[in-house]
């Protein structure tokens, strides 16, 4: 056989190199496809395990509730809410409402002069709590909840106009009708699909554009961190038989010079989410998994890279990984807290037994836990300054 000349040998050598490179490239593509498929299957399995653990935990929570016969009346008077009322008073009333011991609960609001958005958000969590009980626990007996009207027609009208009456399925009379400008409120409603997130985000951002002193860049900053992280959390943790288990209520209060924004879910709470998440084993070595430590868990989540997300990082030291835009799984609450400080927003979070509040300058105001639940799920409460009033809180 004739030996190839140098030119032909060079051509053959180049072809062999090209074939090897193409082979490596094709092999790498196959590996990447296989890796993506494996990663997708793993993610799906993790999500299914997380959902199973969450449902089991909800069944456990509802199984522990045993309402007794009789009627419990809770009287609320004057202003009710986190916005300008006493935090201690709000927590005390919320605890007594959420943890009513009797099958019949009557909420007396005759002497209420103002229902703030945060109080309406809390009452909606009670409605979610009792509606979902039978879905997660066969032995759960749904209590009967009723309320009086307020002697103030303005309060009754606001309960209707805010969307609260529709949310809880209560009828209203024509005398309850008042008008709130559309540009100053994001009404509360049952969210039947997570596709509504974009609609709520748009409404909230319009609320800021129309009423706050934020620049275009600051509104984008608010959207990319605070809204993105908050909606990521509530849509993942919310669970419901009637709806998706999350809701929003926001309103600009010009006389009081702030926007009250409340975003909530009816989930198992931050502590339980952390415990059933992939970081649970690491976290329980830091804080005992007890309801009286719920406030400590909130503080930990604000300061460390911890998360209850099913796909949170599990490396030592709670090192966070990068995920989709707007998300840093294991770093979300830290980012929210930091963004609130930058924008001068007061931030309060309630989650089952625990609470924590940061002032508008980012300083920790208070945190702790109550003996009983103060919220049936988790609530993110933001007080946002109106135009020309950047530093509204000097607690």
What is the reported pLDDT for 324?
41
- Rounded distance between C-alpha atoms, residue 348 and residue 331, angstroms: 17
pLDDT digits (tens, 9 = 90+) for 143-187: 999 999 999 999 999 999 999 999 998 887 666 567 888 899 999
* Max CA pair span of the chain: 109
SS3 assignment, position 223: helix
Look at residue 388 and tell me whether its pLDDT is greater than 60: no
pLDDT digits (tens, 9 = 90+) for 217-227: 999 999 999 99
- Whether 181 is covered by a domain: the verdict is yes
Q: Is residue 323 very low, low, confident or very high in pLDDT (cuts 50, 70, 90)? A: very low
What is the reported pLDDT for 328?
44
Range of the domain at 64: 53-385
What is the reported pLDDT for 283?
83
Question: CATH no. for residue 207?
Answer: 3.30.565.10
Contact 314, 279 (CB under 8 A): yes
Q: How many domains does the chain have?
A: 1
- Whether 268 is covered by a domain: the verdict is yes
- Whether 3 is covered by a domain: the verdict is no
The pTM assigned to this predicted structure is 0.83
Q: Tell the burial category of 221 from Cβ atoms under 10 Å away from its Cβ (0-12, 13-18, 19+).
A: middle
- Whether 75 is covered by a domain: the verdict is yes
What is the reported pLDDT for 65?
87
- Whether 140 is covered by a domain: the verdict is yes
pLDDT digits (tens, 9 = 90+) for 111-141: 999 999 999 999 999 999 898 888 888 888 8
Look at residue 84 and tell me whether its pLDDT is greater than 80: yes
- Whether 263 is covered by a domain: the verdict is yes
What is the reported pLDDT for 203?
97
- Whether 10 is covered by a domain: the verdict is no
pLDDT digits (tens, 9 = 90+) for 267-308: 999 999 888 877 777 888 889 989 999 999 999 999 987 655
- Whether 163 is covered by a domain: the verdict is yes
Q: Tell the burial category of 357 from Cβ atoms under 10 Å away from its Cβ (0-12, 13-18, 19+).
A: buried
Mean pLDDT on 325-337: 70
What is the reported pLDDT for 331?
79
């Amino acid at each position: 056989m004739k030996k190839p000349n140098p030119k032909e040998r060079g051509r053959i050598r180049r072809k062999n190199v090209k074939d090897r490179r193409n082979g490596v490239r094709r092999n790498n593509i196959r590996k990447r496809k296989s890796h993506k498929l494996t990663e997708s299957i793993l993610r799906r399995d993790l999500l299914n395990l997380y959902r199973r653990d969450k449902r089991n935990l909800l069944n456990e929570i509802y199984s522990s509730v045993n309402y007794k016969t009789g009627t419990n009346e809770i009287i609320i008077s004057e202003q009710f809410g986190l916005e300008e009322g006493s935090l201690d008073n709000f927590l005390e009333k919320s605890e007594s409402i959420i943890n009513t011991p009797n099958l019949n609960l009557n909420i007396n609001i005759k002497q209420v002069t103002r229902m703030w958005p945060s109080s309406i958000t809390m009452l909606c969590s009670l409605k979610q709590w009792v509606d979902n009980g039978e879905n997660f626990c066969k032995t759960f007996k749904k209590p009967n909840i009723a309320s009086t009207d307020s002697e103030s027609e303005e309060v009754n009208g606001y309960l209707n106009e805010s969307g609260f009456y529709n949310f809880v399925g209560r009828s209203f009379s024509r005398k309850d009708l008042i008008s709130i400008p559309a540009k100053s409120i994001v009404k509360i409603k049952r969210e039947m699909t997570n596709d509504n997130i974009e609609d709520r985000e748009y409404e909230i951002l319009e609320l800021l554009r129309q009423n706050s002193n934020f620049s275009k860049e600051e509104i984008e900053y608010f959207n990319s961190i605070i809204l993105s992280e908050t909606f990521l959390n509530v849509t993942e943790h919310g669970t419901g038989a009637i709806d998706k288990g999350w809701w929003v209520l926001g309103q600009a209060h010009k006389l009081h010079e702030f926007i009250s924004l409340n975003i909530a879910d009816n989930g198992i709470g931050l502590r339980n989410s952390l415990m059933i998440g992939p970081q649970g084993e690491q976290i329980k070595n830091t804080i005992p998994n007890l309801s009286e430590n719920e406030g400590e868990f909130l503080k930990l989540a604000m300061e460390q890279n911890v998360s209850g997300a099913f796909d949170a990082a599990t490396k030592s030291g709670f090192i966070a990984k990068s995920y989709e835009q707007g998300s840093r799984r294991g770093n979300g609450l830290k980012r929210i807290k930091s963004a609130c400080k930058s924008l001068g927003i007061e931030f309060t979070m309630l989650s089952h037994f625990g609470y924590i509040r940061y002032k508008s300058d980012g300083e920790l105001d208070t945190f702790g836990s109550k003996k009983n639940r103060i919220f049936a799920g988790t609530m993110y409460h933001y007080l946002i300054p109106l135009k020309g009033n950047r530093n509204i809180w000097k607690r």
